[in-house]
Amino acid sequence: MQQIAWVTTLILMSSIAAVFVWVAWSTRFTADYGPIVDKAYAFRRVLFGALLTVSAVATAGTIGRLPYAHAANDAGVQVVTAIGYQWHWDLGATEVKAGRPVEFRVTAADVTHGFAIYDADLKLVTQTQAMPGYTNILQHTFDRPGIYKILCLEYCGLAHHGMSAELTVSG
C-alpha cells in the first residue's frame, strides 16, 4: 500500500512540475492583450449589471415580508414577555389566539438561552436568542390552535434539559 501511495505521489508531483515548466516556457512569447482585456471588461460590465438587476428584484420581492415594518402598525399584536432563568421560562402570558400576530419580547436574567417554540409534533416553529441585558423581538403568527412547547436551545447549565414551558394557542 505504501508503494502505491509513493508512486501516486511521484506521478502527481511530476505532473505539477510539468505544468510549472510549461507556464514558464510559454511566458517567453509575447502577445497583444489589449483585445482580450477589452473583452473581459465588457463581460464584467454585463455581469455587474445582471447582478444589480437580480439584487434589486430580490430586494423588492422580499422586503415586504420583513416583520419589522409591521410591528409598530399592528394594533392587534399580542405581546408576550419571555424571561429565561436557569432553568425555567417566565412568560408574561401563556395563552394567545391563532391567526393574530404575537410579539415575543425575549430576554434573559442570567446567562444566554435559546428561546425555541415547537409544535405538537416537536417540529421547530420559530426561535431567537435570550440574552442578558438585551431584548430580542420575535414576531410569529400561529396558524393552528394547540399546545406549543418552549424549550431552551442554548446549553445553560446542569438542568438545561428540563428548561421548558408551554404556550396555549386557542382558536
As a CATH number, domain 70-170 is 2.60.40.420
* Three cell numbers written together for 62: 422580499
User: What does each C-alpha distance from 63 to 1, 20, 66, 99, 120 come to in angstroms?
Assistant: 58, 50, 6, 22, 31
The model's pTM is 0.59
pLDDT of residue 31: 72
Neighbours of 86 (CB within 10 A): 16
pLDDT tens, residue by residue, 29-69: 777 778 888 888 999 999 999 999 999 999 998 887 776 65
> Domain ranges in the chain?
2-64, 70-170
